[in-house]
Structure 1
C-alpha cells in the first residue's frame, strides 16, 4: 500500500535523503510526486520471489544478464523508484550500475506486482508505465496475484504498449529473453 503526500510539492532525491529511515517503508518519486510505500502483502512478496527465481535461474544458465529484487533505479533527481523485480543485460549493468549499487538508467525489464489499493494500481498502471516508457525500459510486466494474470508491455515505436495479457496456463516468452519460457502460474503463490 502506498499513500501520496503533499500534492503540488516537487520532491527530489535530496528531499527523500532527509526523511527518516523506517523499516518496512519505502519512498518513490515519480515526476516529482512522492509516494510512501508500506510493507506489501505476504503473497505480493511471494509473487516477487517466484518471478525473480524464474528470471534468475534462466539468467544463470544463459549468462545474458542478472535479475534483482527491489533495486533502486535513479532516473533523475525527481524520478527514482524501487521496482519489485528488474532484469538487465550485462551490458546495461556495466554502464548503469553506480558505486552505491543503484541503477542510474533503464533496466531492460521491469516487473511490478500490483497491491490492493486504487492508488497503487494507478501508480503502477499509469505513472510508472509513463515513466518506464519515457526512460527506455524495453519490457514491463504487471503481475496481479489476485487474478492471477500478467500484463506484458513491450516497446513499440518508442513507447511501451500492452501486447498481451496472460493467465495461469499461458506461457510467457519474450524476445528480450531468448530461450526463457514458463507457465504464468509459476509466478504466483498457490
Structure 2
C-alpha cells in the first residue's frame, strides 16, 4: 500500500483528487492507497448485503464506497466493507457525498472482512475496533475467513464486548436478531 508523505487535513482529504480511481483511507493525515479486495472478501460482503436486504430497507445498506470519519491522532477516514445506516444517518447524508462526518450520527453496524496478513489483521482487529467504538457504532462484525470465525462486537458503555462465532454457530446479532446466519453459511458464500 502506498502512502503519502504530506499530512492532509480532513478538508484536504475530502477535496483530494489525484486523477485516478485509487481508493484511499486517511490515517493520521496520510493517504493510504487501498488495494482492491480479494474476490473472496467481495463475495462475503455482497452475500451479507443481500441477506441484510431481506430484512431491512436496502436504502440503509452501503457497500464499500461509504466512508466514515473516525477519531485518531490526526484525521482518519475508513472505508468499511459493509455498513447499515440508521434512519437519522440517512437523513444526515442527505444524498450528498457518502462521507459520514463527526457531526453525523454513527451507523448502526459496520462489517469488516479481514484480508490476509498481519498488517490487515492489526488494522481490522485493533485499530478499527477502537476507532469504531470511539465513534459510537453499536455493532461491529469482524469476518475472518482465515480463522473461519466471526467476531461480533457490541458497544456497552463505550467499549466493545466480544463474542466469537465459528462453524455451524448462528451469529446472534443484538441489533438484527431477525438475521439468521451461521458462520459456515457466510464463509461458504466465497466458495
Cα RMSD (Å): 2.4
Q: CA deviation at 1:75?
A: 4.5
Match of 1:68 among 62, 69, 77: 62
CA distance, structure 2, for counterparts of residue 80 and residue 131 of structure 1: 10
Structure 1 gap segments, 5+ residues each: none
Q: Give the structure 1 partner of residue 180 of structure 2.
A: 181
Q: Does residue 1:18 correspond to 2:55, yes or no?
A: no
- The structure where strand makes up a greater share of residues is 1
Q: CA deviation at 1:14?
A: 3.8
Q: Give the structure 2 partner of residue 143 of structure 1.
A: 143
Matches within 5 A, 1:76-95: 78-95=75-92
Determine helix, strand or coil for the equivalent of 1:59: coil
Distance 1:12 1:121, change over 3 A: farther
Q: CA deviation at 1:39?
A: 0.5
Determine helix, strand or coil for the equivalent of 2:126: helix
TM-score, normalised relative to structure 2: 0.82
TM-score, normalised relative to structure 1: 0.82
Q: CA deviation at 1:4?
A: 5.0
Structure 2 gap segments, 5+ residues each: none
Determine helix, strand or coil for the equivalent of 1:22: coil
Does the 8 Å contact 1:47/1:145 carry over to 2?
no
Distance 1:97 1:110, change over 3 A: farther
Q: What is the number of equivalent residue pairs in this alignment?
A: 182
CA distance, structure 2, for counterparts of residue 55 and residue 161 of structure 1: 22
CA distance, structure 2, for counterparts of residue 97 and residue 128 of structure 1: 26
Matches within 5 A, 1:99-110: 99-104=96-101, 105=104, 106-110=106-110
